[in-house]
Amino acid sequence: MAGVELQGIGKSYGEVAVLQGIDLSIAAGEFVVFVGPSGCGKSTLLRMIAGLERITAGTLHIDGQVVNDVPPAQRGIAMVFQSYALYPHMTVRENMEFALKIARKSKAEIAAAVDNAARILQLTPYLDRLPKALSGGQRQRVAIGRAIVRDPKVFLFDEPLSNLDAALRVATRIEIAQLKERLPGRTMIYVTHDQIEAMTLADRIVVLNAGGIAQVGTPLDLYDRPDNEFVAQFIGSPAMNLLPATLVGTGATSRVQLPGGAEVTVPIATAAALQGQVVKLGVRPEHLDFAAPGAPALIEAPVEVAEKLGDVTVVYVTMPGEAEAVIAKLPGTAPVARGAVLRLTADPARMHLFYAGKSLRRG
């Protein structure tokens, strides 16, 4: 059982800092997912934990030991890459045996480890095949098998599903989720830019942005209580609507007014000093719904685009004077036609308020 502790971790290439001041404590047995936009440093951070990239600032502990200068092979980690990197001329069994042979393990030990990994990954029928005779998903399972046989303390995954087509991605994602159950106590750190992978696999998600941590939390924490506008818009699809509004009432609850005149009271406490300030009212597309006839609407605007997906209809409406469309995810095949004026509202308890980019937390 090994925890991973990052203290003030930074990475610079020459003058250019790509990561700065990363503090993160990953408990033994935890499944942590790093997400963030392209170029935010997810892979770099994972590669520093693996020892494939030099750490230029801070201290990295694995299992209580400082490992900044410990070579990858001695860190007790195993890494699974996006490109499976299997040896093409070796069978599945030989691919999985390879690291153990190098480590001069006994024949019996090697056979037991490979058979166990093959069983966990349902690869037993394929042990004598060459990689070219496997599907992409099976190849990725062999790559995971090579990591499992080494019985590492920490598994590192770098976008392991991104080369797979949509159906295989789902199947392999479910396998990785099961792996967590079958290998209890192993710490897993997983990099992805796929929100669904992050939301479904993670015990905790680390959202990275611009070289730093934007927020760390359980998937539902990030969805329900984003700390800032970046996380609010990064987690959830389509992204949360952020409507510019004026704070017209402060206190235990807050009253905001949209430019069109609509007002809403949200159960979020704000300080009197913020009276009259411009805030952003955050409303998730899936929380918008038709306003009852006669009841006040938060948004009243014509439909620009309606995407009928069968289970939901995603509607884009533009409020007068606003550049950005408001997106609503309406249930079923709602009868919405281009140009029709929609009256939408949402439960104030599900709304968010942001000031200067930061969340004004619920009181």
Ligand X SMILES: Nc1ncnc2c1ncn2[C@@H]1O[C@H](COP(=O)(O)OP(=O)(O)OP(=O)(O)O)[C@@H](O)[C@H]1O
- Give the binding site for ligand X (CB under 6 A): 13, 18, 36, 38-44, 193
Query: Are 191 and 157 spatial neighbours (Cβ–Cβ below 8 Å)?
Result: yes
In the complex, the smallest distance separating the C-beta of residue 11 from ligand X, rounded to whole angstroms, is 8
Q: Which is nearer to ligand X, 204 or 225 (CB)?
A: 204
In the complex with ligand X, the residue whose CB is nearer, 81 or 290, is: 81
Q: Do the beta carbons of residue 186 and residue 152 sit within 8 Å?
A: yes
d(CA 255, CA 266): 6
> Please, which residue, 192 or 359, has the CB nearer to ligand X?
192
Shortest Å, Cβ 50 to ligand X: 12
Contact criterion met (CB below 8 Å) for 131 and 84: yes
Least distance (Å) between residue 1 CB and ligand X: 28
The nearest distance, CB 143 to ligand X, in angstroms, is 18
44/95 with CB nearer ligand X: 44
Closer residue to ligand X (CB): 27 or 210: 210
In the Cβ-directed half-sphere of 103, how many Cα atoms lie within 13 Å? 14
Q: How far is the CB of 361 from ligand X (least distance, A)?
A: 28
The three-class DSSP label of residue 307 is strand
Q: Which residue has the tokens 């480590």?
A: 103
Nearer to ligand X, 54 or 358 (CB): 54
Cis peptide preceding 184, ω within 30 of 0: no
Minimum Å gap between C-beta 44 and ligand X is 3
Query: Is residue 42 helix, strand or coil?
Result: helix
Are 5 and 190 spatial neighbours (Cβ–Cβ below 8 Å)? Answer: no
What whole-number distance in Å separates Cα of residue 171 and Cα of residue 321?
Answer: 45
